[in-house]
Amino acid sequence: MENMVNFWRGRRVFVTGASGIVGAWLVKDLLALDASVVALVRDADPQSEFFRSGDYRRTFVVNGRLEDFSTLERAINEHEVDTVFHLAAQPIVGVAQRFPLHTFEANIRGSYNLLEACRVHGGHVRRVVIASSDKAYGAQPSLPYTEDMPLQGKFPYEVSKSCTDLITQSYFHSYNLPVAIARCGNIYGGGDLNWSRIVPATIRSFLRGESPQIRSDGRYVRDYIYVKDVTRAYLRVAECMDDPNVQGQAFNFSPERALTVLEIVSEIQRLMNYPNLAPQVLNVAHGEIFSQYLSAEKAQRVLSWRPRYSLEDGLRETIEWYREYLAI
């Protein structure tokens, strides 16, 4: 911990998507490590953990959109940013499926705008961590996903992540930009207010005394990784960026415990003690890969990263956050 504090103390860090679930917890970590944080926020949502906690008062807030290059360039230049965490994106698969244009604009244009701003100001920017997703791999003939697999997304959200990863690698190979890519599965934790996601939606349903709804047939398989393990993973990538084995590389982060949707709902149900509220299986999901889960062997070997939270511990903290937030 002392080494982490020494590394981050006073370091100027730009976080895009600071008001999202991962961004809010990453900002907390950076502030605790005494970093100087510049936060890009599109909409000032008072319900976001970033605002509810008051953390925004301890950061330099830049209001703007990823699609606006001048906003990103100004933030990096005027604040003489040293480290960039690019987390902002349109993150919902269903939203991308219904209307892909905004997802492509935010996730693809937004990423190359950010990378170009970092390239232009390479005299200041020393490390860039791009938050990607297991969705970048698309459907593969074998699992778990490993970093040497091709990126072959087919549906809009997957394609936006595949493109982001390929563009990031292009900036490394073409301009030697000090970048690395972090790919995670389904991230859960307090502060996620996207109620279409299975973990927050299930917790809210149980707290309301309602049966949770499952959009798929319940057999879809996913990784579930706690948000605090994700933020530590991102920090670890940045801390190791001077290593030539890290620059330009992608890393999977996963607890390596694949679960069906029914299994994750069952675990939440057990922890919350609502045995009589059986889930409703709607089976209406469309445009989603059936099975997705990751190998984290490379991150363990190169970065010495391992998750600190078991599924039960992560879910317990998450349930308590929503219990307080919803005041039930």
Flag whether 197 is in a domain: no
Residue 242 included in any domain: yes
Q: What tens-digit pLDDT sequence spans the chain (328 residues)?
A: 667 779 999 999 999 999 999 999 999 999 999 999 999 999 888 999 999 999 999 999 999 999 999 999 999 999 999 999 999 999 988 899 999 999 999 999 999 999 999 999 999 999 999 999 999 999 999 999 999 999 999 999 999 999 999 999 999 999 999 999 999 999 999 999 999 999 999 999 999 999 999 999 999 999 999 999 999 999 999 999 999 999 999 999 999 999 999 999 999 999 999 989 999 999 887 778 899 999 999 999 999 999 999 999 999 999 999 999 998 6
Look at residue 194 and tell me if it is in a domain: no
- Catalytically annotated residue among 56, 145, 157, 322: 157
Residue 1's pLDDT is 61
pLDDT at 94: 87
> How many domains is the chain partitioned into structurally?
1
In a domain, 326, yes or no: no
- Global pTM reads 0.96
For residues 102 and 71, give the distance between their C-alpha atoms in angstroms, rounded to a whole number: 18
- In the chain, the N- to C-terminal Cα span, in Å, equals 36
In a domain, 219, yes or no: no
- CB atoms near residue 307 (< 10 Å): 23
Q: Which CATH number is 151's domain given? A: 3.40.50.720
Q: With helix as H, strand as E and coil as C, how does the chain read?
A: CHHHHHHHCCCEEEEECCCCHHHHHHHHHHHHCCCEEEEEECCCCCCCHHHHCCHHHHCEEEECCCCCHHHHHHHHHHCCCCEEEECCCCCCHHHHHHCHHHHHHHHHHHHHHHHHHHHHCCCCCCEEEEEEEHHHHCCCCCCCECCCCCCCCCCHHHHHHHHHHHHHHHHHHHHCCCEEEEEECEEECCCCCCCCCHHHHHHHHHHCCCCCEECCCCCCEECEEEHHHHHHHHHHHHHCCCCCCCCCCEEEECCCCCEEHHHHHHHHHHHHCCCCCCCEECCCCCCCCCECCECCHHHHHHHCCCCCCCHHHHHHHHHHHHHHHHCC
Is there a domain that residue 250 lies in? yes
- Quote the CA–CA distance of 151 and 225 in Å, as a whole number: 21
Determine, yes or no, domain membership for 21.
Answer: yes
Q: Kindly list the distances between the CA atom of residue 82 and the CA atoms of 15, 111, 129, 193, 231, in Å, as whole numbers in the listed order.
A: 11, 18, 12, 30, 18
The answer as to whether 155 is a domain residue is: yes
Residue-number span of the structural domain to which 87 is assigned: 2-189+224-257+293-308
Q: Give the pLDDT score at 2.
A: 62
Under 8 Å CB-to-CB from 146, ≥6 apart: which residues? Answer: 252, 295, 297, 298
Q: Are 262 and 280 in contact (CB under 8 A)?
A: no
CB 79 within 8 A of CB 14: yes
Question: Could you confirm whether 157 is annotated as catalytic?
Answer: yes
Predicted local confidence at residue 259, as pLDDT: 97
Q: What are the angstrom distances between the C-alpha of 122 and each of 30, 76, 273? A: 22, 10, 53
